[in-house]
């Protein structure tokens, strides 16, 4: 099989910032870019946030609810909306989606992790099927969570043997705190934490600090990782070709 890329997209890319509803134009753009990679023979797994964000408007909220039960109810509504949208959009490219919902306990033992590995590898044998992964927010209480989908994506990458992870967010990559210029390459993940700001939107769960924590796990596991702008998903093709606009975090295996 060809090398595997995990593409993770955050809630801030998928939803409108003013009300948390799904941003259909952004989804169309994103799906087209991912479908292009699948069509050209690249193996991809798509980790998609957005379930809670997609569900909040259905219950009349203008931001994330604070209590866990209401948030889980939003996820149950939003996950169905999200997958229905993906199914319809990817069908335009003759791609069938396969939904896999996980909680941290699913990777807690070798036996359970093996079930995930076997299922995903079987799906990846089919050239026109795209696995879409999300944390099972409707049942994942704090003790059962990965933390966020950045960590889910990199842990999945290690389990499944992915070559790279691309984290799509609302910025071009890691920015220098003074010049605001994009840092194209990072070889020292610990020094990168100095560049972190605490930004996160009303409908997003994570920030740059959580991304760097996940990236540290990835690069120490030998996985090339990128932060890129999810509103410009056409850049994915260039990133996968070793070019493109992103911050690339070199895997530890390159540094020795």
**Which residue ranges are tagged as binding site for ATP?**
8
Over 90-109, what HEC string results? HHCCCCEEEEEEECHHHHCC
Of 143, 75, 73, 138, the closest CA to residue 104 belongs to 143
- Binding site feature residues: 8, 49, 137, 149
Extract the tokens encoding 106.
Answer: 């699913």
Residue among 140, 205, 186, 160 at smallest CA distance from 43: 160
Residue given tokens 């797994």 in the structure block: 45
Cα(200)–Cα(95) distance, rounded to whole angstroms?
A: 32
Binding site residues for substrate, as ranges?
A: 49, 137, 149
Q: Are strands 247-249 and 224-229 parallel, antiparallel or unpaired?
A: antiparallel
In the block, residue with structure tokens 């909220």: 61
């Amino acid at each position: 099989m060809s090398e595997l890329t995990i593409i993770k997209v955050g809630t801030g890319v998928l939803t409108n910032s003013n009300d948390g509803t799904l941003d259909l134009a952004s989804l169309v753009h994103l799906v087209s870019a991912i479908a292009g990679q699948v069509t050209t023979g690249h193996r991809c797994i798509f980790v998609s946030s957005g379930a809670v964000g997609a569900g909040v408007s259905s219950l009349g909220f203008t931001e994330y609810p604070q209590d866990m039960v209401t948030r889980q109810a939003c996820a149950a509504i939003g996950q169905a909306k999200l997958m229905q949208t993906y199914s319809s959009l990817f069908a335009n490219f003759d791609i069938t989606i396969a939904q896999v919902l996980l909680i941290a306990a699913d990777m807690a033992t070798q036996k359970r992790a093996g079930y995930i590995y076997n299922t995903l590898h079987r799906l990846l044998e089919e050239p026109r099927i795209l696995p879409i992964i999300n944390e099972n927010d409707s049942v994942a209480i704090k003790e059962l969570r990965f933390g966020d989908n950045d960590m889910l994506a990199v842990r999945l990458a290690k389990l499944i043997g992915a070559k790279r992870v691309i984290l799509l967010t609302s910025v071009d990559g890691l920015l220098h705190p003074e010049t605001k210029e994009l840092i194209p390459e990072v070889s020292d993940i610990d020094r990168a934490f100095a560049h972190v700001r605490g930004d996160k939107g009303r409908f997003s769960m994570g920030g740059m600090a959580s991304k760097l924590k996940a990236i540290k796990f990835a690069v120490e596991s030998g996985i090339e990782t990128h932060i890129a702008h999810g509103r410009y998903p056409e850049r994915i093709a260039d990133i996968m070709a070793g070019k493109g606009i992103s911050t690339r975090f070199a895997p530890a295996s390159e540094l020795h």
